[in-house]
Amino acid sequence: MTILITYSTAHNTTALLAKRISARLTTILPPSQHVEILPITSIPTTCAAGIIPYSAIILGSAIHMGSWLHPAKKFISQHQSELGEKPVWAFSVGVPATEEMAREEEKKVEGEIRRHVPELKGHRLFKGKIERNDLPWVVRTWFRWFPGEAKFGDFVEWEEVEKWADGVGEELKGVLEGGK
């Protein structure tokens, strides 16, 4: 059996988290379970064959302007019936300014995902990283005018990512063995 981790990224942080989640899962799951990582854009949205072979799916996307990236939103919209037949988890990567904003954003994004994947097993928003040069010039200029608002840097909390991945791995063992 194979688990798919598929992601949509803007500046590679989501891909890095997908790789770390994969590494954790391979240490938890039995050797008969394989984990495959693919960019979401490499899976056709026009046919279900792209995700049929997988036993479970973990979806990930960066968050821009409070929402998943377009390829991820298109993927869950186009594959919602196939996703409804498999255990699915999701993670998001963003840099909200405050913890309260992070909770609100996590709840909002999870609601958007559940519109297409009502049986979603779980969703988690992880802090990402943002560099000044990752932003369009207009946004960089805005941050210069309001320097207190700008938070640049690497905010990824790898321990949190690993803890979540370990929990998903334990759930997967139960789900794939028919226990849940």
Model confidence over 3-60: pLDDT tens digits? 999 999 988 899 999 999 999 999 999 888 899 999 999 988 777 777 888 999 999 9
> Residue 91 carries which side chain, given as an amino acid letter?
F
Average pLDDT in the chain = 86
Percent of the chain with pLDDT over 90: 59
Identify the pLDDT of residue 32: 86
Identify the pLDDT of residue 149: 54
Can you read off the two tokens belonging to residue 68?
């998943």
150-154, long-range: CB within 8 Å, 24+ apart, which pairs? 151/95, 151/97, 153/129, 154/129
In a 3-state reduction of DSSP, which class is residue 69?
A: coil
Q: Does residue 145 surpass a pLDDT of 60?
A: no
Lowest-pLDDT range of 17-26, 92-101, 156-165: 92-101
Rg of the chain on CA atoms, in Å = 17
**CATH 3.40.50.360, applies to 2-129+159-176:** yes
Domains of the chain: which residue ranges?
2-129+159-176
Work out the number of other CB atoms within 10 angstroms of the CB of residue 80.
13
Identify the pLDDT of residue 148: 52
Closest CA to 61 of 72, 77, 51, 75: 72
